Amino acid sequence: MTRGRATVLAALGLTVFLAIWELMPALGVVPAQILPPPSALPRAFEREFSSGIWFASVLLSLRNYLAGLVIGCALGVGLGVATGMSVSFEAALSWVVRVLRPIPGLAWVPFAILWFGIDPAAAIFIIGVGVFWISYFAALGAVRAVDRDLIELADAFGFRRADQKLVKVILPAAAPGILAGLRTAVGQAWMAVVASEIFGVPGLGQRMMQASNLLASDIVVIYMATMAACYGIIDTGFVALQSRLLRWKR
Amino acid sequence: MIKLDRVGLSFPGDGAPTEVLKDFSLTVPAGRFVAIVGPSGVGKSTLLRVVAGLLSPNEGTVTINADRQDNPLPVVMVFQDARLLPWRKIEGNVGFGLEHGQVSAAARRERIHAALELVGLEGYGHRYPHELSGGQRQRVALARALAVDPDILLMDEPFAGLDAITRESLQDELSRIHAATGKTVLFVTHSIDEAVYLADEVVAIAGKPGRLAAAIPVAAPRPRTRGAPESAGIAAQLREQLAEPPAA
Ligand SMILES: Nc1ncnc2c1ncn2[C@@H]1O[C@H](COP(=O)(O)OP(=O)(O)O)[C@@H](O)[C@H]1O
Ligand SMILES: [Mg+2]
């Protein structure tokens, strides 16, 4: 299929989707209060935007998102690489990992509130926990999969210390796997944003909950679309960075 | 100089450990080109790893005497697979052994350039390994070792995967480099003709565990011609040694 044809089909699919969505409340299949038609959305957005709430919420959430993502991924990749490089470290952590890993991110909410209060730090913690495991296992797997021959090459050329091997061979060789994991984390962190703000930390998740309690379903849709857009922009940027870093791959 | 004294090495396996080398002694004086031949699985690669310090023998001693004390990498290995780092351009691969802080960036560039020229790959520095053919990648691996300017060059069937023409031109290149630099070379090959063409001395390993079966000097003058009658005689002698099981 040519690129042009694919684009046309994609646009057609989206149009049909929007048309069905528009028709459902118009034909009285569902009340407009439960499903606001797309045509109602620009006005809702304008209201939300001109009051300044939209921008403030996005900014707050974006800060929580980035802080949680960076901290969680840094710890996850760091610990994953260390575990991947040291068999005894891995053995020492194996049961701890088994105990902690199955706990879903939301289950940490009570502790997040206890430790940080109703504070952005609590939201950052929840987001961070979620991406931690993704990046931890991605880094662990990628480091374990590094070609032993390349590590032997480092040895043969005098890079015998672990830190030398890490910089010269292990990190670059593991980069594709680590970056693939980070990309998953970039998406997953947005899911955590809403969850982390449900209990009152200001941001777009909290705004969504407020709107939903007021049955302002059009505002809810505005924030759903906002998140989709944020995710789209950040993911596109990440993919660009990723292919720049991995331009050596054929 | 390389001196192996009654080296024994075994790999731990499930059950009894596999003995790969036993009571193996060999002395390679500085500047000498020694070829090692033997059937596959006999322990040739293991022997090179022991000399390179990548494996420690269970028994015996390995002594390496570097000619110059200031060289941070007196022994360097060329593996059978080119083993290039795919994320580095060719120049980065060739300069790999020069990153011990001993060479300035300018000197490094110069040595990379000189090494690439030596293997006939000037102008390829900005490519990635996957943009080169197998033979070219093997040349890069040779350039990477030569750029380090080691006293001792260990080569593990470095030309085995190459076509005959590339192979012969790299053999001549290596001969020329050896004559010009006087490096000590330990060269593993399964080609008896290659061994006889290149080496001052051919060592045959045979048996399980691997033992030194024969050490035959090749006195033919250099530069050598392929298929010279005296080489044919030595090659025949080696074939005989390798065909017979070694005296227990
Ligand atoms: N890391 C290893 N662990 C266990 N056995 C090994 C290892 N490396 C080599 N061997 C065994 O040692 C023997 C000699 O191997 P090698 O030195 O590669 O032989 P060659 O290079 O002469 O073909 C083989 O039987 C091989 O299976
Ligand atoms: Mg071998």
Mean pLDDT computed over B119-133: 93
Answer positive or negative: Cα dihedral of A219, A220, A222, A226: positive
Mean pLDDT computed over A177-182: 97
pTM as predicted:
0.88
pLDDT-based confidence at residue B226 (cuts at 50, 70, 90): confident
If you measure from the C-alpha of residue A123 to the centroid of ligand 1, how many angstroms do you get, rounded to a whole number?
A: 54
Among B93, B4, B101, smallest CA distance to A153 is for B93
Residue nearest to atom 25 of ligand 1 (CA): B41
pLDDT-based confidence at residue B244 (cuts at 50, 70, 90): low
Among A153, A239, A42, A225, smallest CA distance to B129 is for A153
Preferred mutation among A149, A150, A152 to probe B, highest tally of B CBs within 10 A? A152
Rounded Cα distance between A169 and B126, Å, is 20
A248: contact with B, CB 8 A cutoff: yes
Residue B219: pLDDT above 70?
A: yes
Rounded Cα distance between B58 and B209, Å, is 13
B72: contact with A, CB 8 A cutoff: yes
Task: Please state, in angstroms and as integers, the Cα–Cα distance from residue A51 to each residue in A45, A136, A183, A228, A229, following that order.
Answer: 10, 41, 34, 22, 20
Rounded Cα distance between A20 and A18, Å, is 6
Q: Which of A152, A158, A250 is opposite residue B73, by nearest beta carbon? A: A158
Please indicate whether residue B81 or residue B227 has the higher confidence score (pLDDT). B81
Residues of A with Cβ-Cβ distance to B52 under 8 angstroms: 156
Element housing A90 (H / E): helix A87-100
Flag if B83 and A153 touch (Cβ within 8 Å). yes
Burial degree of A151 (CB within 10 A; 0-12, 13-18, 19+):
middle
Residue of B nearest to A159 (CA): B100
DSSP string, B47-87: HHHHHHTSS--SEEEEEE--S-TT-S--EEEE-SS----TT
Residue A154 Cα, gap to closest chain B Cα (Å)? 9
Rounded Cα distance between B212 and B23, Å, is 9
What is the pLDDT of chain B when averaged over all its residues? 90
Residue A32: pLDDT above 90?
A: no
Residue A32 Cα, gap to closest chain B Cα (Å)? 56
Residue A145 Cα, gap to closest chain B Cα (Å)? 15
Flag if A149 and B88 touch (Cβ within 8 Å). no
Which atom of ligand 1 is nearest to B46's Cα?
17
Asked which of A12-26, A219-233, B9-23, B87-101 is least confident by mean pLDDT, the reply is B9-23
Q: Can you give the pLDDT at residue B240?
A: 82
Rounded Cα distance between A132 and A120, Å, is 18
Place of tokens 């031949």: B37
Residues of A with Cβ-Cβ distance to B93 under 8 angstroms: none
ipTM: 0.91
Q: Can you give the pLDDT at residue A148?
A: 95
Half-sphere exposure of A178 (CA within 13 A, CB side): 24
Q: Which of B52, B83, B89 is opposite residue A150, by nearest beta carbon? A: B83
Residue B246: pLDDT above 70?
A: no
A158: contact with B, CB 8 A cutoff: yes
pLDDT-based confidence at residue B166 (cuts at 50, 70, 90): confident
Residue nearest to atom 16 of ligand 1 (CA): B43
Residue nearest to atom 7 of ligand 1 (CA): B11
Place of tokens 């830190």: A163
Please indicate whether residue A146 or residue B41 has the higher confidence score (pLDDT). A146
Rounded Cα distance between B61 and A206, Å, is 71
B128: contact with A, CB 8 A cutoff: yes
pLDDT-based confidence at residue B248 (cuts at 50, 70, 90): very low
B79: contact with A, CB 8 A cutoff: yes
What are the two backbone dihedrals, phi and then psi, of residue B211, each rounded to the nearest 5 degrees? -125, 160
Residues 6+ apart with CB under 8 A from B176: none
Place of tokens 């070829």: B35
Number of Cβ within 10 Å of residue B118's Cβ equals 18
* pLDDT tens string A121-142: 999 999 999 999 999 999 999 9
pLDDT-based confidence at residue A155 (cuts at 50, 70, 90): very high
Residue B181: pLDDT above 90?
A: no
pLDDT-based confidence at residue B245 (cuts at 50, 70, 90): low
The SS3 of residue A38 is: helix
- Judge contact between B149 and B157, C-beta under 8 A: no
Rounded Cα distance between A144 and A250, Å, is 22
The SS3 of residue B185 is: strand
Residue nearest to atom 3 of ligand 1 (CA): B11
Domain ranges for chain B, please list them: 1-67+191-248
Residues of B with Cβ-Cβ distance to A165 under 8 angstroms: none
- Judge contact between B166 and B135, C-beta under 8 A: yes
Residues of A with Cβ-Cβ distance to B144 under 8 angstroms: 157
Residue of B nearest to A248 (CA): B87
Rounded Cα distance between B129 and B85, Å, is 8
Mean pLDDT computed over A164-180: 97
Q: Can you give the pLDDT at residue B143?
A: 94
Instruction: Please write down the long-range contacts of B173-180, taking CB distance under 8 Å and 24 or more positions apart.
Output: B173/B118, B173/B119, B173/B120, B173/B142, B174/B142, B174/B198, B175/B222, B175/B223, B175/B224, B177/B118, B177/B146, B178/B33, B179/B222, B179/B223
Mean pLDDT computed over A152-175: 96
If you measure from the C-alpha of residue B47 to the centroid of ligand 2, how many angstroms do you get, rounded to a whole number?
A: 9
Q: Can you give the pLDDT at residue B110?
A: 95
B139 lines ligand 1 (CB under 6 A): no
Q: Can you give the pLDDT at residue A107?
A: 87
Flag if B87 and A155 touch (Cβ within 8 Å). no
Q: Give the A:B interface size as CB pairs under 8 Å.
A: 45
Mean pLDDT computed over A226-248: 93
Q: What are B43's two structure tokens?
A: 């322990």
* pLDDT tens string B35-70: 999 988 899 999 999 999 999 999 999 999 887 777
Q: Can you give the pLDDT at residue B62?
A: 94
Q: Does domain B1-67+191-248 have CATH number 3.40.190.10?
A: no
- Judge contact between A128 and A68, C-beta under 8 A: yes
Residue B209: pLDDT above 90?
A: no
The SS3 of residue A111 is: helix
Q: Which of A158, A169, A172 is opposite residue B97, by nearest beta carbon? A: A158
If you measure from the C-alpha of residue B245 to the centroid of ligand 1, how many angstroms do you get, rounded to a whole number?
A: 20
Residue B200 Cα, gap to closest chain A Cα (Å)? 25
Asked which of B143-152, B193-202, B218-227 is least confident by mean pLDDT, the reply is B218-227
pLDDT-based confidence at residue A215 (cuts at 50, 70, 90): confident
Q: Can you give the pLDDT at residue B247?
A: 52
Q: Can you give the pLDDT at residue B208?
A: 83
Residue nearest to atom 18 of ligand 1 (CA): B45
Residue B228: pLDDT above 50?
A: yes
Q: Can you give the pLDDT at residue B237?
A: 83
The SS3 of residue B88 is: coil
Mean pLDDT computed over A54-66: 94
Residues of A with Cβ-Cβ distance to B97 under 8 angstroms: 157-158
DSSP string, B114-135: HHHHHTT-TT-TTS-GGGS-HH
Residues of B with Cβ-Cβ distance to A156 under 8 angstroms: 52, 54, 76-77, 79
Mean pLDDT computed over A168-190: 96
What are the two backbone dihedrals, phi and then psi, of residue B187, each rounded to the nearest 5 degrees? -125, 115
* pLDDT tens string A64-96: 999 999 999 999 999 999 999 999 999 999 999
- DSSP β-bridge partners for residue B204: B37, B214
What are the two backbone dihedrals, phi and then psi, of residue A48, each rounded to the nearest 5 degrees? -65, -35
DSSP string, A224-246: HHHHHHHHHHHHHHHHHHHHHHT
